[in-house]
Structure 1
Amino acid sequence: MRLYGRIIKGKKILKEAVAENNEAIPYNDALERCLIGVCKELDVQVPMWLKNNTSEFVNYKRTFFREEHFVEAIKFDKLEIRAE
């Protein structure tokens, strides 16, 4: 699995990162490891994964995390992740 992440403020992309996991593990575990890897590369905290994120990711292979997904304050509008 390969997961792309980018930090967006307004209409501007501030940072991008990629994380990959090729281990023979369940999809959920690979997704979690890649999300943690992307967040580490982007130097942001790992967001809370909510029900709407699951729906978006299943249907579109993409989801967004906004301020309500983070415990601490963020300095950007959203974190987007997408799988390929």
Structure 2
Amino acid sequence: MFRMSGTLMKDNKIIASCISRQEGPGSRTEKVLRALEEICQHMDLAVPIWLPARIEEFKQRSKTVFLEDSFMEEIPFDSFSIQVIEE
């Protein structure tokens, strides 16, 4: 089973969190993208843009933090982090 968590932070406090579970066929990339979409939908967020620095960080550490520059609209939080917690 593949699980990924998403966390919204504001003023160094967690304001929302969610875990997505992905089962079945598909590459790791497909599961990451499906999980990200599910987490964003649950939190009523637009899916962030994967900037090159975020992609590299995620490849190396299986986690990354999206900041304001990763969203097309203004965001009411400081950061949105995702992390793979089980593969």
- Normalised-by-shorter TM-score class: over 0.9
Give the corresponding residue for 1:56.
57
Residue-by-residue CA offset, 1:10-49 (whole Å, 9 max, x unaligned): 2100000011111210111111000001111111111001
Q: Quote the offset at 1:4 in angstroms.
A: 0.1
Runs (4+) of structure 1 exceeding 4 A deviation are: none
SS in 1 for 2:72: coil
- Report the number of matched residues: 84
Give the corresponding residue for 1:79.
80
Percent identical pairs in the alignment equals: 29
SS in 1 for 2:25: coil
Amino acid at match of 1:32: L
- TM-score of the superposed pair, with normalisation by structure 1: 0.94
- TM-score of the superposed pair, with normalisation by structure 2: 0.91
- The CA RMSD over aligned residues, in Å, is 0.8
